[in-house]
Structure 1
Amino acid sequence: MLWRVNPQPEPSFHMIELYTWTTGNGRKPSIALEEMGLAYEIQGVDLAKNEQYSAEFTLLSPNNKIPAIRDRDTGQTIFESGAILLYLAEKSGKFLPKDEAGRWSVIQWLMWQMGGVGPMFGQAMHFIHYNPGASDYAANRYLTEAKRLYSVLDRRLGEAAYAAGEDYTIADMAIWPWVARHPMQTVDLNEYPNVRRWYVEIANRPSVQRGWSILGDTSPIPLPG
């Protein structure tokens, strides 16, 4: 069964159905929906119970990965978190610049997250946090790459306020939930002062805090010491 909750006080036809769970990728669209002010309804897809392989969810996400959305306005379904963020940004007209240079800056940093941060941080967490001792080689390999990516982000955030430039965008919404897993990656954000500044600033946004607390998860956003 999918667990349904509705954070909106007055449901309407004009609503996004979000199918997700409390992972780095899973929190991207809930944060975006809160930031954009779009009405939405969550259906939890419990990964521990393999609900991502249900026939219902497979129709939405052929790759059997969360998150996925259905737009009740149009009937459009979207899977892959990066594609979802682009769709929501275009639907709302927010957090994606209209000018060509700004738009491509956001897209390139979004792709950087999708192609690097998500896979590498995820593997680091797999071998360090969830399966410690399974492979020291793998743990060291993925942690080394994760730290390299943190250095890339730290350098970028020394040049600009946010990942894609001077404005907060969907690129930040994509990257931030993975940085929020830094304790599981054994990464000290104090070693990356620009990332730390950016991370704490975003963590203090009320919409981010609401988007973080989904599906009954009341765990606090981890903050660096």
Structure 2
Amino acid sequence: MSDYTPPKVWKWDAENGGKFAKTNRPIAGPTHDKDLPQGEHRWQLHSLATPNGVKVTVMFEELLEAGHDAEYDAWLIDIGKGDQFGSGFVDINPNSKIPALLDTKTGTRLFESGSILLHLATEYDAFLPQDPAMRAETLNWLFWQMGSAPYLGGGFGHFYAYAPEPMEYPINRFTMEAKRQLDVLDRQLAGREFIAGDQYTIADMAIAPWYGGVATGAVYNAAEFLQTDGYENVQRWAQQVMNRPAYLRGRMVNRSFGDPSEQLHERHSAADFDTQTQDKLAGSGN
């Protein structure tokens, strides 16, 4: 039993927030002036290869794989250093969360990963079915992911992997919800190749980095704890989606952790996958 009693008025203590105490705060706005870099392509992405960031880089790589003119510059935002609070980033995303995208052709700013996926799918008429029923089903699951993932990330993931100490009640509470959501997906995928039916869509791109990542152990290293091998339909779908060539490339972009050969901090052309990963840069002395 905890002996903690909430005070009548909560006060922020920047030193009492666990691993992310110095990158989270109860106010918005920039903390420092910093212009964002800009490359030569129409699309300027500022992100990090968390599940939310991977959704968008996978989308870009899938568009390119399908033959669309969707070249992009991807710039690393190091949230551990507070890059998301720089004035240039806040201008694109006032919520100071990755990913953030600027369309230099129209001057349009885009934030929230679901909004970015939907915008790009509409712009290129790709990965969003034209059939009204399939389109509605795709959007159902896209917005399901947007509403459900905070329980998986900020709820289960935070208390299981990042909280200063293990706490039974929140871990039990959010584990129950994580398993319920995995069961929702497993039932949806029974008899379906992809989330919305027989077509690969932005719904799959949105859901795989979170739920596929958890199911395969790539996110939070919690597959055994959650017994995810029991969700056979999710496992089959996750392996299929996450081994697509464009997905494998997309998950490398703006990645600053893990195997150096899978870290491409910045991406400005397809050739960067062969020459600019961290292992190659280290080997060249750069």
Per the TM superposition, whether the score is higher than 0.5 is yes
In structure 2, what is the equivalent of residue 210 of structure 1? 249
Distance 1:139 1:2 in 2: 40
Kept in 1: contact 2:49–2:255 (CA 8 A)? no
SS in 2 for 1:159: coil
1:196 corresponds to which residue?
235
Alignment of 1:51-66 (within 5 A): 51-66=83-98
Residues 58 and 250, structure 2, Cα contact 8 Å, conserved in 1: yes
Check conservation: 1:3, 1:45, Cα contact below 8 A. Answer: no
Identical pairs, percent = 38
Give the one of 104, 107, 121 matched to 2:152: 121
Which runs of 5 or more residues in structure 1 are unaligned? 6-10
Name segments (4+ residues, structure 1) moved above 4 Å: 1-5
Q: What is the aligned length? A: 214
Please say if residues 58 and 247 of structure 2, whose CA atoms lie closer than 8 Å, have aligned partners that are also in contact: yes
Measured in 2, the distance between the counterparts of 1:67 and 1:12 equals 19
Matched, 1:49 2:49: no
Residues 36 and 89 in structure 2, CA contact (< 8 A), matched pair in contact too: no
In structure 1, how many angstroms separate the alpha carbons of the residues matched to 2:186 and 2:82?
A: 36
Listed one character per residue, the Cα deviations across residues 121-167 of structure 1 (whole Å, up to 9, x for unaligned) are 10211111112634211111111100000000000000311111110
- 3-state DSSP class of the match of 2:74? strand
Q: Check conservation: 1:85, 1:170, Cα contact below 8 A.
A: yes
Cα distance in 2 for partners of 1:168, 1:132 equals 39
Distance across 2 between alignment mates of 1:35 and 1:110: 17
2:54 aligned with 1:27, yes or no?
A: yes
Secondary structure of 2:190's counterpart equals helix
SS in structure 1 at match of 2:160? helix
Q: In structure 1, what is the Cα distance between the partners aligned to 2:254 and 2:233? A: 31
Tell me if structure 2 keeps the 8 A contact 1:21–1:215: yes
Query: Does 2:102 align with 1:70?
Result: yes
Q: 1:94 to 1:39 in 2, by over 3 A?
A: same
Once structures 1 and 2 are overlaid, which stretch shifts more, 132-141 or 81-90?
Answer: 132-141
- Structure with higher Rg: it is 2
Tell me, in whole angstroms, the C-alpha distance in 2 between the residues paired with 1:154 and 1:134: 28
Q: Does 1:17 align with 2:44?
A: yes
Cα root mean square deviation, aligned: 2.1
Q: Deviations over 1:86-120 (max 9, x none)?
A: 0011111110011211111111000100001x111
Judge which range, 178-187 or 98-107, deviates more: 178-187
State the TM-score, normalizing by the size of structure 2: 0.70
Indicate the residue corresponding to 1:8 in structure 2: none
Report if the CA contact (8 A) 2:35-2:87 is conserved: no
Name the amino acid aligned to 1:76: T
Q: Could you say if the C-alpha distance between residues 82 and 107 of structure 1 is closer, same or farther in structure 2, counting changes exceeding 3 Å?
A: same
Q: Calculate the TM-score normalised by the size of structure 1.
A: 0.88
Partner of 2:139: 107
